[in-house]
Amino acid sequence: MSRPATELIRRGVARAGIRHELDADGWLALRDALAEEPELDFLGLWAEEGAVHAAFHGPDGVLLATLPVTGGAFPALSPARPAAAWFERAVADLWGRRAEGGTDGRPWLDHGRWAVTAPLSSRPAPNTSEPPQPVFLPATGPGVHQVPVGPIHAGVIEPGHFRFHVQGETVVRLEARLGYAHKGTLGLMRGKSPRAAARFAARISGDSTVAHSWAFAAAAEAALGVKPPPRALLLRGLMAELERIANHLNDWGALCGDAAFAWPQARCGVLREGLLRAQEAAFGHRLMMDRVVPGGVSIDIARSGPDRLRAALAGIGDGLPALRRITEEQASLQDRLSGTGVLRPELAARFAAGGFVGRASGRDFDARRNGAYPPYDSLAFEVPVLQAGDVEARLAIRVAELEQSLALAETLMARLEPGETLVAPPPEAMRAGEGVALVEGFRGDVLCWMALDEAGLIRACFSRDPSWLHWPLLEAAVEGNILADFPLCNKSFNASYSGVDL
Amino acid sequence: MSEPPENASQQDAAAKAPWPSLRQALSGLSWPPMLLPRLTCNLLRAPLTESGPPVPEVTVAALAERLEAASRARLGRSLAIRHVGSGSCNGCELEINALSGVVYDLERLGLRFVASPRHADVLLVTGPACRNMTEAVQRAWQCAPEPKWVVAVGDCAVDGGVFRDSYAVEGGVGQVLPVDLVIPGCPPMPGLMLEGLLALVEAQREDAEPQPGPLRNEPEF
């Protein structure tokens, strides 16, 4: 099979051992080559001072391409990879580098409310203009009207604005305008040691705190050339599986709740609360925030931890059959979930959708298996895949994964041997370097890239939540559904707002 | 911040809930239909909902001072809460959502979440004061009718937390709204949040029996 884009990137000049640098012509050629190689998955695009980086997932894992950028613009990749559009808008907003020929030039993260423009560029300029009115993509036709929702929503969720164009009850076009939760996380990470900056990674998306911390830590460890101890890896795996279980339970309950079926929500809530309390007993924090750090884990599991966790997991295992039966057998619930918010497999593949979004639409990818990073390289588990792509399929994937994770958590606990849980960073002279990591969180693969300077401080870092690829797909999946089904569709994707707003 | 010891023992009780063992015991009997054991379980087992946390008197006194007697009479012993996300990492939202569940069940205590700030007595604000949210947060506050409280939930809302030095953040929620009560933690435990909200309810009740007050004025908006 010919892989023109993969080969083109590999021919680039090797940088820092993990990137391939292309010149301007090479980057333009890459755009054409990408169109000829649709199977090369696009993971993300970001910038730093003097360069733009793009990440792909190729036959041998993560593949990074770099273009040195001195002027104010660089050739866009979005014509060949539509998922790149959101990234290109973020690069323009944060680093002030415009994607020439891009499919969408509108600002996104920058709402015109900061004191500066291009805050991550070397010379941020003072912002002197009034916040502009947002521009939405149009939809025209007889009787089409707009429904604006947010940034503050009726439920307890994060801020974001949804602009619906509807015709009667039917959604003609949905556009998500996010960026409200932009906290400047990437800027705060710069100039800090990985250990100090880990607390920002842990707060990119609170529900994925373990996954983001792990990806961040793994990137830092790759940059520093250190290996975390085996016990730390097992504990990371355990925490990641617990996080997956807690979130899948949450989504399961909330999906049924959004369909006005309260019983599963109540049951899932009880089981989840039991797990969160066991997590607090085991790791000292209900969400296990700040537990995964560069070099290992910051806290060993409490002596009583495994028993508490086993009791909570056993409770979940006992509760699953009834929950599953009732979810699957209630006609009124199935009526709402089945056939709603269909994401076509072609789109999921084109956007390299991860997690339950991709796997419910036929994309057989799981970083735990495809990347086979420890401890998953020695664990047996199944990756459920469905083709239907509707809300029901995304729920079914979660339920199947929940069962897998219960078994994985048990295995990981059984394998725990006494030992070190944290290694020290190498001597200062050896701290410069770059690393990249891909870790499977509950909603999909989390990518983190990090560059350290000679002092071992972060020169640049980018954490990509899977939601970057899921938000545009949600917009597509909602099309043609009734407006009243949007909460269901939205919950079934459960994309993170904070995770992309950074 | 840790929960009071009373809660800790309850947590243990919840961890080893009584129903599986009871169910196992009953299922050992050779009664034919499934109904009887399940019914017996449901009748005999303790409720999943825990008793509410005790409320610190100092907090109540301080809050009562901030609320005029008239307001107290008008609000009575209930609070309508509107959550406003000001840019949190969504950790606080996870714990706030837990309050609505069976275990904490905040509605039995006179607290409930409402869908609009126009129906709210309390704005429960999470996250640092992100500049991209300033206008929306302030407009939500303007929409809420008087008397109203602002509760800053989580370390970010208290003072900006780890994000306080960012170009994109004003600091804590107090930078953009008048804050009445702060509930620290990253994120705060649900029990602690419940404690804080109950302190508000108690503060309203002090010295004044609820009287049916005049209709609230429409906000000028």
Would residue B23 count as lying in a domain?
yes
Residue B218 reports pLDDT greater than 60: no
Residue B19 reports pLDDT greater than 60: no
- Name the CATH superfamily, with its identifier, for domain A4-126: NADH:ubiquinone oxidoreductase Nqo5 subunit (3.30.460.80)
Chain B residues within an 8 Å CB radius of A159: 85-87, 133, 136
Rounded CA separation A48/A53 (Å): 8
So what's the pLDDT on residue B3? 42
Strand B79-85 versus strand A19-21 pairing type: unpaired
In degrees, rounded to 5, the angle at the alpha carbon of residue A469 between the alpha carbons of residues A466 and A472 is 140
So what's the pLDDT on residue B8? 43
Q: Lowest-confidence range among A235-249, A479-493, B45-59?
A: B45-59
Would residue B217 count as lying in a domain?
no
Report chain B's terminal Cα–Cα distance, integer Å. Answer: 40
| Binding-face residues of B in 127-186 toward A, CB within 8 A | 127-128, 130-137, 140, 162-163, 165-169, 186
Considering the domain architecture, whether residues B12 and B88 belong to the same structural domain is answered as no
For residue B6, what pLDDT band results from cuts at 50, 70 and 90? Answer: very low
Considering the domain architecture, whether residues B33 and B66 belong to the same structural domain is answered as no
- Rounded to an integer, the average pLDDT of A375-384 is 95
- Rounded to an integer, the average pLDDT of B166-175 is 96
Considering the domain architecture, whether residues B115 and B64 belong to the same structural domain is answered as yes
- Rounded to an integer, the average pLDDT of B91-115 is 92
Asked if residues A131 and A114 have their Cβ atoms less than 8 Å apart, the reply is: no
Tell me the residue length of chain B: 221
For residue B51, what pLDDT band results from cuts at 50, 70 and 90? Answer: confident
So what's the pLDDT on residue A151? 95
For chain A, give the mean pLDDT: 95
Give the residue on A whose Cα is nearest the Cα of B50. Answer: A270
Chain A residues within an 8 Å CB radius of B88: 158, 181, 206, 498
So what's the pLDDT on residue B69? 56
So what's the pLDDT on residue B66? 66
So what's the pLDDT on residue B146? 87
Would residue B104 count as lying in a domain?
yes
Angle between helix A230-258 and helix A486-493 axes, rounded to 10 deg = 170
So what's the pLDDT on residue A326? 93
For residue B13, what pLDDT band results from cuts at 50, 70 and 90? Answer: very low
pLDDT tens figures, B112-156:
999 999 999 999 999 999 999 999 999 999 999 988 899 999 999
Q: How much is the ipTM here?
A: 0.94
Considering the domain architecture, whether residues B94 and B35 belong to the same structural domain is answered as no
| Binding-face residues of A in 422-441 toward B, CB within 8 A | none
Domain boundaries, chain A: 4-126, 192-466
So what's the pLDDT on residue A247? 97
Q: Dihedral of the CA atoms A361, A362, A366, A367 (nearest 10)?
A: -90
Would residue B111 count as lying in a domain?
yes
Q: Which of A239, A270, A276 is nearest to A253 (CA)?
A: A270
Considering the domain architecture, whether residues B111 and B181 belong to the same structural domain is answered as yes
- Rounded to an integer, the average pLDDT of A400-415 is 96
Please indicate if any CB of chain B lies within 8 Å of the CB of A276: yes
Provide CB contacts within 8 A for A154, sequence distance 6+. B115, B116
Q: Which of B63, B169, B58 is nearest to A187 (CA)?
A: B169
Q: Do B103 and A498 lie within an 8 Å CB cutoff?
A: no
Residue A425 reports pLDDT greater than 90: no
Would residue B211 count as lying in a domain?
no
Considering the domain architecture, whether residues B120 and B65 belong to the same structural domain is answered as yes
Residue A36 reports pLDDT greater than 70: yes
Q: Do A188 and B189 lie within an 8 Å CB cutoff?
A: no
Count up the domains in chain B and report the number: 2
CA distance B86 to chain A (A): 7
Considering the domain architecture, whether residues B94 and B176 belong to the same structural domain is answered as yes
Considering the domain architecture, whether residues B86 and B19 belong to the same structural domain is answered as no
Residue A478 reports pLDDT greater than 50: yes
Would residue B40 count as lying in a domain?
yes
Share of chain A above pLDDT 90, in %: 95
So what's the pLDDT on residue B205? 66
**Residue in B16, B103, B163 closest to A273 by CB:** B103
So what's the pLDDT on residue B210? 47
Considering the domain architecture, whether residues B34 and B121 belong to the same structural domain is answered as no
Rounded CA separation A201/A462 (Å): 10
Q: Which of B178, B55, B170, B49 is nearest to B107 (CA)?
A: B49
- Rounded to an integer, the average pLDDT of A303-317 is 96
pLDDT tens figures, A178-209:
999 999 999 999 999 999 999 999 999 999 99
Chain B residues within an 8 Å CB radius of A272: 98, 101
Residue B220 reports pLDDT greater than 50: no
- CATH class, domain A192-466, is mainly alpha
CATH number of the domain at B115, please. Answer: 3.40.50.12280
- Rounded to an integer, the average pLDDT of B32-37 is 62
Q: Lowest-confidence range among A430-434, A492-496, B150-154?
A: A430-434
Residue B211 reports pLDDT greater than 90: no
Number of residue pairs across A and B with CB atoms under 8 Å?
A: 155
pLDDT tens figures, A80-116:
999 999 999 999 999 999 999 999 999 999 999 999 9
Of residues B64 and A370, more confidence is placed in A370
**DSSP 8-state class, residue A170:** E
Considering the domain architecture, whether residues B175 and B152 belong to the same structural domain is answered as yes
Would residue B30 count as lying in a domain?
yes
Name the burial class of residue B29, with classes exposed (0-12), middle (13-18) and buried (19+) by CB atoms within 10 angstroms of its CB: exposed
So what's the pLDDT on residue B21? 54
Provide CB contacts within 8 A for B120, sequence distance 6+. B80, B81, B82, B114, B144, B148
- Rounded to an integer, the average pLDDT of A123-136 is 93
- Rounded to an integer, the average pLDDT of A408-414 is 97
Give the residue on A whose Cα is nearest the Cα of B8. Answer: A277
Please indicate if any CB of chain B lies within 8 Å of the CB of A192: no
Residue B216's region, left for phi above 0, alpha for psi from -120 to 50, else beta, is beta
Q: Do B17 and A315 lie within an 8 Å CB cutoff?
A: yes
Chain A residues within an 8 Å CB radius of B91: 203, 206-207, 209, 287, 289
For residue B56, what pLDDT band results from cuts at 50, 70 and 90? Answer: confident
- Rounded to an integer, the average pLDDT of A464-476 is 97
Considering the domain architecture, whether residues B157 and B199 belong to the same structural domain is answered as yes
So what's the pLDDT on residue B24? 55
Residue B212 reports pLDDT greater than 80: no
Range of the domain at B61: 57-205
Give the residue on A whose Cα is nearest the Cα of B84. Answer: A152
For residue B36, what pLDDT band results from cuts at 50, 70 and 90? Answer: confident
Considering the domain architecture, whether residues B107 and B164 belong to the same structural domain is answered as yes
Residue B157 C-beta-side C-alpha neighbours within 13 Å? 34
So what's the pLDDT on residue B109? 85
So what's the pLDDT on residue A1? 65
